[in-house]
Amino acid sequence: MTERTAERTIAHAPSTPSGPANLADILERVLDKGIVIAGDIKIDLLDIELLTIRLRLFVSSVETAKKAGINWWETDPALSTRAHRDAVDEENQRLRERIAELEAAEGEERPSRRDAGWDDERRSHSWHHVKEADGR
């Protein structure tokens, strides 16, 4: 919160109804603008831009959502690497169990592969929306 105090030294916003600078306004400046020089460590800003666009879908209402106790972005794999990791862990766990099962049943019957990849499908689906938003 010290950040906000510091921010007011210049980016105070007398005519902004929402008080301290809005996240979308900051993001579009610190990601898209500024004077670019080549650094030693390169990150793909495109990844972030995709996220930003996704972020823009709710950034204006995030405070409202927080007040209402809605925190879907924290569990959306496309928005949170933590959630993503959880999803992967979960999938790993499921696959391990399946392997154990198959090994136990080895030789008795051919395994069914019906379930393979369902999680991947779901994930690529959510990214599809991001691309759509990007195309707009």
3-state secondary structure of 14: coil
Residue 135 binds other proteins, judged by CB under 8 A: no
51 vs 82: CA distance, rounded Å: 15
CA atoms within a 13 Å half-sphere pointing along the CA-CB vector of 86: 10
- Distance between CA 100 and CA 14 in Å, rounded? 63
Total chain residues near other proteins (CB under 8 A): 60
Cβ 121 to other proteins, closest distance in Å?
21
Number of neighbours of residue 65 by Cβ within 10 angstroms: 14
Q: How far is CA 86 from the centre of its chain?
A: 13
Footprint of other proteins on 102-131 (CB under 8 A): 102
Task: Please report whether residue 132 would count as binding other proteins according to CB under 8 A.
Answer: no
**Residues 64-93 within binding reach of other proteins (CB under 8 A):** 73-74, 79-82
Gap between the Cα atoms of 81 and 78, Å rounded: 7
> Minimal distance in Å, beta carbon 85 to other proteins?
9
Asked if 6 is part of the footprint of other proteins (rule: CB under 8 A), the reply reads yes
Residue 83: Cβ within 10 Å count: 16
Q: With respect to other proteins, which residue has the nearer C-beta, 24 or 87?
A: 24
Q: Which residue of 36, 67, 109, 135 would you call a contact of other proteins, by CB under 8 A?
A: 36
Report if residue 57 touches other proteins, rule: CB under 8 A: yes
For the record, the structure tokens of 128 come out as: 């599809």
Residues that bind other proteins (CB under 8 A): 2-4, 6-7, 9-17, 21-45, 47-48, 51, 53, 55-61, 73-74, 79-82, 99, 102, 133, 136
